[in-house]
Structure 1
Amino acid sequence: MKRIAALLRRRAITAVPVLLIVIAATFLLLEHAPGDAVDSYLVSLGGGDAKLAAELRAQYGLDQSGFARFRLYLSALARFDLGWSVAFDRPVIDLVRERLPNTLLLMASATALSFGLGSLLGIAAGARPGSLRDRALSIGALALYAVPGFWLGLVLVLFFSVQLRWLPLAGMETIASGKQGLERALDIARHLVLPVTALGFIYLALFLRVMRSGMAEVWPLDFVLFARSKGLSRTRIVWRHVARNALLPLVTVLGLQAAAMLGGSVVIESVFAIPGFGRLAQEAVSDRDAPLLVGVILTSAVLVILVNLTVDIVYALLDPRIGSGEEGA
């Protein structure tokens, strides 16, 4: 436990400058972008005079210098205040709390599908490298990985929702259904089948190929040859020796794909009209809502860091060599 605690402490310390860089870079990029939320609001009203624009900018603090607003934003972050959304006229933290659970549910379900099924198919392919089954699964994974997520989502909608009418077309749950408890959970699950499939199948192909490649590299190693010389069954060798050691790089890929999956959820949420974190980012960009967009990006960075911290812990549990040199740090 000391080894894992030292590793976790070291990673948490290095995460602080990463967050500061993300905050500063995002703020500077938005500072140099043309227009602001007031311009977008006046366009939605059909126009407005300069006096109204000046009053709105003074109300939301947009008339101050960039350095002053950045300093105020840092002081607000120190109080866990993400600011005020100009487009929604609500605190950013409330919007994050409202939308983030939907995206986390989508990502967790898609990750479980892609990692679990991808690992099993990768083991099936890597159990006999070079076999017909291995080649068929590898070619299928490559073809699936080349499919754009939005295109796969649209195809699933046309087939399962429009033609067969088996699953809901869009949304997170049935609007104003009044369902509670288990009935509501089942309704949400039905709505998530298609978006989870569209998001998860793309990364399933990646996990399959990584698992298969990892097993192919483990087969020629000495400890596997020793296990075969002892007369162990091929099934036991695959599960107890080869697959277990090939799982380590797969866990690493899982952490690296967290950010990619969070970005991919933006497209999937738009296709299936899911009120999640990705659509919130899209609305912040379209409305030029800088405080909301900075809050979304900062929250996304924190999520990616937490996922990678979790992956580091799992990796240390699977491989005792990881973090052994950091116990005395």
Structure 2
Amino acid sequence: MSTYLIRRLSYMLLILLAASFLIFALYALTPGDFISGNIKLTPERKAELRMIYGLDQPLLDRYLTWMGNALRGDFGISLAQQKPVLTLFQDYIWNSFLLAAVSTFFTWLLAVVIGVLAAYRQYSWFDSLVMVLIFAAMSIPSFFIGLFLIKIFAVDLHWLPPGGMTTTGSNAEGWAYVLEVANHMALPAAVMTLLGLGSLTRYFRSNMIDVIKQDYIRTARAKGLPERKVLFTHALRNALLPAITLVGFELPALFGGSLIIESIFNWPGIGQLYMKSFGLRDYPLLMGFTMFIAVLTVVGTLLSDLLYRIADPRVNL
């Protein structure tokens, strides 16, 4: 195990190094930047700022400087907000993590339950209804679902707030603050759950259909075990094994999948900050966020391999 971890960590460092250069080069070679796009600055001031931030240097020199600072924990200064990139991440990233964690929990919970029941009642009216709703959820754009729910629950029924994380001017503390955040999070979390529920439910359904046809499931039933125990103990445990590989994609999806949702619901997360920075071409912040997603991706793949080995000891790493 230790040899495997050392080898994988070495590969991860090489992958991140190559990814960092590729991402840096793509951003650097993109025409325009925050300084050149600012019409309020004179040409002399633009030239001065480009020299201050090192934008007039060759690409390789700029990358080596950025990498040296990044290894020390310094990802640069946001040109638009004039704050360190890590400081901005600390201000926004936990809001995104809260929203993504809640939606991921409900997505997997509902996907497992609905997928198991749909597989158990294959070709029934319930299974047909689930498949129709799955393809509908996968086909409708996220911004349409978000705006539609705002129209129904916020504008027409006045049940939920249309956006934000807290009520403007609120001084709530303790449980009152928790309830207020939960009330504002209901709509964006529901949209993110609906977006991820379709493909994951279909995945669990197909896995369960294959598993419940195996001989050991028939043997468990022949022994007189309750059907609930057969499905959720014996069958589901083996159907979850292929789904473990999806964990590697869940970590980056926690933050990368909420970009549009956070903008629609004005949720103060890292996704909304990224969208604003993208429009302003604030490349230091964009570079830091993209590298953060790259790190989560390689860490997620390693975590999925280790979890698969724990779930099935027969797997040889």
- Tell me the TM-score normalized by structure 2: 0.93
8 Å CA contact retained: 1:251, 1:315 = yes
Q: Which moved more, 1:162-171 or 1:131-140?
A: 131-140
Distance 2:296 2:152 in 1: 34
Match among 289, 294, 297 for residue 301 of structure 1: 294
Higher mean alpha-carbon deviation, 112-121 vs 55-64, is at 55-64
Indicate yes or no: 2:196 matched with 1:209.
no
> Are residue 15 (structure 1) and residue 12 (structure 2) matched?
yes
Q: Verify the 8 A CA contact 1:210 1:249 in the aligned structure 2.
A: no
Residues 283-292 or 307-316, more deviating: 307-316
Aligned pair partner of 1:100 in 93, 108, 114: 93
> Aligned equivalents of 1:187 and 1:275: distance in 2?
15
The answer to whether the 8 Å contact 2:96/2:269 transfers is: yes
User: Any unmatched runs of 5+ in structure 1?
Assistant: none
Residues 232-260 of structure 1: per-residue CA shift (max 9 Å, x gap): 33222112211111111222234334444
Aligned position for 2:243? 250
- Going from structure 1 to structure 2, the CA distance change for 1:189 and 1:235 (only over 3 Å counts) comes to same
Report the residue type matching 1:204 in the other structure: L
Q: Secondary structure at the match of 1:239?
A: helix
- Report the equivalent of 2:49: 56
Q: Which deviates further from its counterpart, 256-265 or 101-110?
A: 256-265
- Aligned in 2, Cα 1:37/1:206: closer, same or farther, shift over 3 Å? same
User: SS at 1:37's partner residue?
Assistant: coil
- Amino acid in structure 2 at the alignment position of 1:34: P
Q: Secondary structure at the match of 1:112?
A: helix
CA contact (8 A) 1:27 1:70 kept: yes
User: Does residue 1:124 correspond to 2:117, yes or no?
Assistant: yes
**Greater alpha carbon shift after TM alignment, 29-38 vs 244-253:** 244-253
4+ residue runs over 4 A deviation = 5-10
CA shift at 1:316, angstroms? 2.6
Which residue does the alignment assign to 2:264? Answer: 271
Q: Paired residue for 2:75?
A: 82
Of 87, 111, 114, 2:107 maps to 114
Q: Which deviates more, 226-235 or 279-288?
A: 226-235
- For the residue of structure 1 that corresponds to 2:123, the secondary structure is coil
Question: What is the rounded CA distance, in whole Å, between the counterparts of 1:38 and 1:209 in structure 2?
Answer: 47
Residue identity matched to 1:69: R
Report 1 or 2 for greater relative contact order, CA contacts < 8 Å, sequence distance ≥ 6.
Answer: 1
In structure 1, the residue matched to 2:163 is: 170
Bigger drift between 225-234 and 178-187 goes to: 225-234
Once structures 1 and 2 are overlaid, which stretch shifts more, 11-20 or 236-245?
A: 11-20
Partner of 1:200 in structure 2? Answer: 193
Partner-residue secondary structure (3-state), 1:129:
coil
Report if the CA contact (8 A) 2:248-2:299 is conserved.
no
Q: 1:119, CA displacement in angstroms? A: 0.8
Counterparts of 1:195 and 1:11 in 2: how far apart (Å)?
A: 36
Q: Which moved more, 1:61-70 or 1:259-268?
A: 259-268
C-alpha distance in structure 1 between counterparts of 2:6 and 2:188, whole Å: 36
The CA deviation at 1:304 is 3.0
What is the distance in 2 between the residues matched to 1:254 and 1:203? 13
Aligned pairs, how many? Answer: 317
